[in-house]
Amino acid sequence: MKPFLWEFQYRRQFEWLKNTRDFLYGKVRLGLQKRVLEPGCSIALITEELSEKIDGMVVGLDKDFNALFSAKKRGKKLSLVCGDVYYLPFKKETFDSVVFQFFLLWVKDSLSAFEEMKRVAIPTGWIISTAEPDYGGRIDFPHTINYSSFIVKSLLEEGADPFVGRKLEYIYRKSSLVNIQWGLTSVPFGIELAGKNFEKEWSFIEKLAKSEISAELKRMKTMERKFLKEGKRSYFMPVFYCIGRKKMT
Ligand SMILES: C[S@@+](CC[C@H](N)C(=O)[O-])C[C@H]1O[C@@H](n2cnc3c(N)ncnc32)[C@H](O)[C@@H]1O
């Protein structure tokens, strides 16, 4: 995955999901915690947000050195580690919480990643998945404007799991976490938001397409513009959250 290509998408997701993160941070009383890890932090937007909320140590980890380097240029004080979620370079029971967003879709073996995240979490520590998408559940009005199958195909080609959202509760249960709470967090895009989002959304799709976008996608873009002018457009993209804690041993 090319982080710079995705950077502007992460910034959009970061803004959209702010309220959900605040809701989850409140549930686990994150503001009172002392050590938090964000695996798959990429350009560390959430690591930075957490560093502002927590009076303690916040570490962002990613296997992509370039993304971390770009984050470090932005926030010199950020604690960032280049590493692999399957082999976290931390002692057991180091962190009060492990927080991540739009990460599991890129992780091929979620259960092994969870074992490792549990290892570095304290007993009763929280594993917090603030948002994982499910592109298979997208709703579009009019239903003919439906480019989710294109996004699904592109993500599968990139090695991601576009349907990870619906699997979250299963992954948590299978990992023997307790106090599991999960749900959907999403911004329903009505006519105003869909209008504001039009150029950015298409810019994302065009970036995803890498080279020329297909005639079918071009036709869809023209149709969407027309429907927006007629006030006839809304969509919903399901994004799931889940929290659970490590059992007391
Ligand atoms: C979609 S990005 C995450 C974006 C970021 N969490 C955010 O919300 O802005 C997924 C990140 O996971 C990282 N990643 C994928 N597999 C990983 C692994 N095994 N260990 C560490 N990082 C990994 C990728 O390098 C990528 O930066």
Which CATH number is 49's domain given? 3.40.50.150
Query: What's 116-168 look like in SS3?
Result: HHHHHEEEEEEEEEEEEECHHHCEEECCCCCCHHHHHHHHHHHCCCCCHHHHH
Residue pLDDT, tens place only, 125-156: 999 999 999 999 999 999 999 888 888 988 99
Question: 107 near 40, Cβ under 8 Å?
Answer: yes
Name the closest-CA residue to atom 24, ligand 1. 40
Q: Is 239 in the pocket of ligand 1 (CB under 6 A)?
A: no
Give the pLDDT of residue 85: 98
Residue pLDDT, tens place only, 205-226: 887 776 666 888 889 999 999 9
Token readout for 208 is: 């995803």
In-domain check, residue 98: yes
In-domain check, residue 211: no
Ligand 1 mean position to 143 CA, how many Å?
Answer: 32
* Torsion 75-77-82-86 (CA) sign: negative
Give the pLDDT of residue 212: 64
Q: Which residues of the chain have pLDDT under 70?
A: 1-5, 210-213
Backbone Cα Rg of the chain:
19
Question: 244 near 178, Cβ under 8 Å?
Answer: yes
In-domain check, residue 12: yes
Distance of CA 217 to the CA centre of its chain: 25
Give the pLDDT of residue 210: 67
In ligand 1, the atom with minimum distance to the C-alpha of 3 is 27
Give the pLDDT of residue 147: 85
Among 14, 99, 106, name the best residue to mutate to test ligand 1's pocket (greatest count of ligand atoms within 8 A of Cβ). 106
In-domain check, residue 198: no
In-domain check, residue 225: no
Q: Is 62 in the pocket of ligand 1 (CB under 6 A)?
A: yes
In-domain check, residue 206: no
**Angstrom distance (rounded) from CA 107 to CA 112:** 10
Ligand 1 mean position to 103 CA, how many Å?
Answer: 5
- Please state the pTM of the whole predicted model: 0.93
What does the DSSP assignment read for 190-246? Answer: -HHHHHHHHHHHHHHHHHHH-SPPPHHHHHHHHHHHHHHHTT--EEE--EEEEEEEP
Distances in Å between the alpha carbon of 198 and those of 139, 143, 207? 16, 16, 14
Ligand 1 mean position to 98 CA, how many Å?
Answer: 14
Host domain of residue 24? 3-134+160-188+236-245
Give start and end residues of each alpha helix (H) in 28-147.
Answer: 45-53, 65-74, 110-120
Among 45, 64, 111, name the best residue to mutate to test ligand 1's pocket (greatest count of ligand atoms within 8 A of Cβ). 64
Ligand 1 mean position to 106 CA, how many Å?
Answer: 7
Give the pLDDT of residue 53: 95
In ligand 1, the atom with minimum distance to the C-alpha of 42 is 27
Give the pLDDT of residue 75: 77
The residue whose two tokens read 């576009």 is 162
In-domain check, residue 224: no
The domain total for the chain is: 1
Give the pLDDT of residue 208: 77
